[in-house]
Every structure is written in C-alpha cells, then in structure tokens.
Amino acid sequence: MRAMILEEQGKPLVERSVDTPSPGPREVLVKISACAVCRTDLHVCDGDLENPKLPLIPGHEIVGEVVAVGKEATLEMGARVGVPWLGWTCGECEYCSREEENLCPEARYTGYTRDGGFAEFVVADEGYCFPLAEGMSDVEAAPLLCAGLIGYRSYRKTGKAKKLGLYGFGAAAHILAQVALAEERRIFAFTRPGDESGQEFAGKLGAEWAGGSDESPPEQLDAAIIFAPVGELVPKALESIRPGGVVVCAGIHMSEIPAFPYKILWEERTVCSVANLTRRDGEEFLKLAPTVPVQTEVTTYPLEEANRALQDLKSGRLEGAAVLTCGS
C-alpha cells in the first residue's frame, strides 16, 4: 500500500510503498478514504511530542470501510467506521476502571504509537472504532474524529457557560461553534492578530464577535477554550473571563505559559486541560453532530501532498480542516 511515513522527527514525510498490515484477532483492516490532518500530527512530526513509534504513519482522523476482520472481531465487512486518536487502552488500571480511559498510562494512540491514516489502509482495534451514520461524506466526516471530539470534550468542561470565548478558530473551533450555537451559547472568536479572513470565517459561522487574540472581548466571558498552542493565551483568556469562570486548554502541546498575577486567577477562576478522549465522548458527540447538524469546511489534498497540508495548517493558511483523500 502507499503511505506517507515519518522516518525521523523534524523531517518531512516520505512517500513509500509498504506491506499492507493484517489485523490481529480483535482488529479490523480499514480501507481509508479520508484522513483529516490535526495539529497533533504537526506536533508529532515536528518533535514536540516525544517517543513516537518510528517509522510511523501519522494521522488519527480516519474514515474508511472495513475490508478484513480478525478471528474474534465482530464488525461486519463493508461497515463504515471512524478511527480516532485513542487506539487502545488496558481496561484494567485505576483510570480505565473509573471511566477515565483517556488517561490510561498504557494507552496507544493512532498515528503516534500505532500506525495511522496517512495511507491507503490501517489496522485498528475494533473496540475503538466508531460506526459512522450516513449523511456526511467521508471527507466531511473525517474532522469530526478529533477536531470534533476534542472540541466537544473541551466544551463539556465549560459547563453551562453562555458566553464562550474560542482562542484559535481552526478545525476544532469551527465544529464546536456550531454545536454551541445550537445550544444557544454566544460565541466570541479570537484569531491571530490581523487575521481578517479568519475573523470573517468565524462571523459567517455565527460568532457574534471576532477579533485578534491581543484584543479584549466586548463583554466579560463565562468561559474560554484555547485551541491555539500558545501559552501566552492562558493569562489573556483568564483576563477575559468572569469570577468562577473556566479556561480550558484543548491542545496536547503548548508553548510555555508566562508568569501572571494571582489576581487574574483569584475569585475561583479555573484553568484546566483536556487530554485525549474517551469512547463515551465519541459516542455522545457522533450522536449529537447530525442533530445540529454539524457541517464541516474542508480543504482536500491528495495523500502524497500530506507535507503541504501540514505546512498549510502550521502557517494558518487554512479555513476549517485539512483532509487527505487516500482512495487509490
């Protein structure tokens, strides 16, 4: 099969022809039609995240069709599935046994410690695949698998916040904004300073205010979610939320958070992070998305142009999500 492979962190992916993997007893072989590109892929390729499997096929927002099944697998041939970041957990540790499988120390991650979806096929543990409803094309559904899921988990941590700030209006924020608006929240979007097209994009999706991350919102917010990997935004966001409000850091990696005065945290403001996902997040979100209904804005790239997609994501040239089309 064709695959885009990370041989060494900090180097571009290389296109190779490799053996198509075969599924273990509880695994399935998925013929990939689309795989979205996530900021985490950038962190893996650039080396911000340590100790990936090497060589590695990145990619963890996979949509495809089951074309082979292991001896004990129960998924049917031809089933349309999504394969997310969470690839496997132990099921036995203290985290797994209290519904925090997202924190399992033994967990394996698709496109990081297992091979992922920048290829024509992927092997996945069937217990971690999500069946996908009809209605959205494969390309449009792919960004739901991480941008959507992580956005949703972050959103749940903001409780009943009415006025919600979103720092970094990319793939995750553009999906989450639709869910939040459907639940009658008000959206305030923060983009890179001067990114007028990003602000326009946020306005088009229903944000009532959009400005640069160096600006203050017109009203005090109830909560903020930071999708951009920029530590300076943590004190910025704290300054824009009310007493008792929460700032959620949604990324897997962030630059250092600068020191800030205690008074912007005082009055019971909270800063927290979101790590990975649980299968329950996936089930809830994938059930909710069609009722909104969530629509994704995607830019497609052929598989062999994965490096260009990663660069466009890094430079902020994209609106919505980048998706690789993997079908041969």
Residues that bind Zn ion (CB under 5 A): 38, 40, 89-90, 93, 96, 104, 146
Q: Which residue has the tokens 């695949």?
A: 129
- Write down the least CB distance from residue 172 to Zn ion, Å: 8
Residue 55 phi, psi (nearest 5): -65, 155
Q: Which C-beta is closer to Zn ion: that of 104 or that of 202? A: 104
Q: List beta partners, residue 302.
A: 325
- Given the DSSP bridges, would you call strands 321-325 and 27-37 parallel, antiparallel or unpaired? antiparallel
Q: Which C-beta is closer to Zn ion: that of 217 or that of 320? A: 320
- Write down the least CB distance from residue 252 to Zn ion, Å: 8
- Write down the least CB distance from residue 38 to Zn ion, Å: 3
Question: Using an 8 Å Cβ cutoff, are 109 and 50 in contact?
Answer: no
CA atoms within 13 A on the CB side of 111: 31
Q: Which C-beta is closer to Zn ion: that of 150 or that of 246? A: 150
Q: Which C-beta is closer to Zn ion: that of 178 or that of 278? A: 278
Question: Using an 8 Å Cβ cutoff, are 307 and 153 in contact?
Answer: no
Q: Which residue has the tokens 């590695």?
A: 56
- Tell me how far apart the terminal alpha carbons of the chain are, to the nearest angstrom: 10
Choose among 153, 80, 83: nearest CA to 111: 83
- Write down the least CB distance from residue 164 to Zn ion, Å: 21
Q: Which C-beta is closer to Zn ion: that of 89 or that of 154? A: 89
Q: Is the peptide bond before 55 cis (omega within 30 degrees of 0)?
A: yes
Planar angle of CA 84, 87, 93, nearest 5 degrees: 130
Coil vs helix vs strand at 246 = strand
Q: Which C-beta is closer to Zn ion: that of 106 or that of 200? A: 106
Choose among 5, 75, 103, 78: nearest CA to 45: 5
Q: Which C-beta is closer to Zn ion: that of 95 or that of 190? A: 95
Q: Which C-beta is closer to Zn ion: that of 59 or that of 245? A: 59
Task: In whole angstroms, give the CA distance from residue 88 to residue 71.
Answer: 18
Residue 281 phi, psi (nearest 5): -55, -45
- Write down the least CB distance from residue 103 to Zn ion, Å: 8
- Write down the least CB distance from residue 60 to Zn ion, Å: 6
- Write down the least CB distance from residue 93 to Zn ion, Å: 3
- Write down the least CB distance from residue 73 to Zn ion, Å: 21
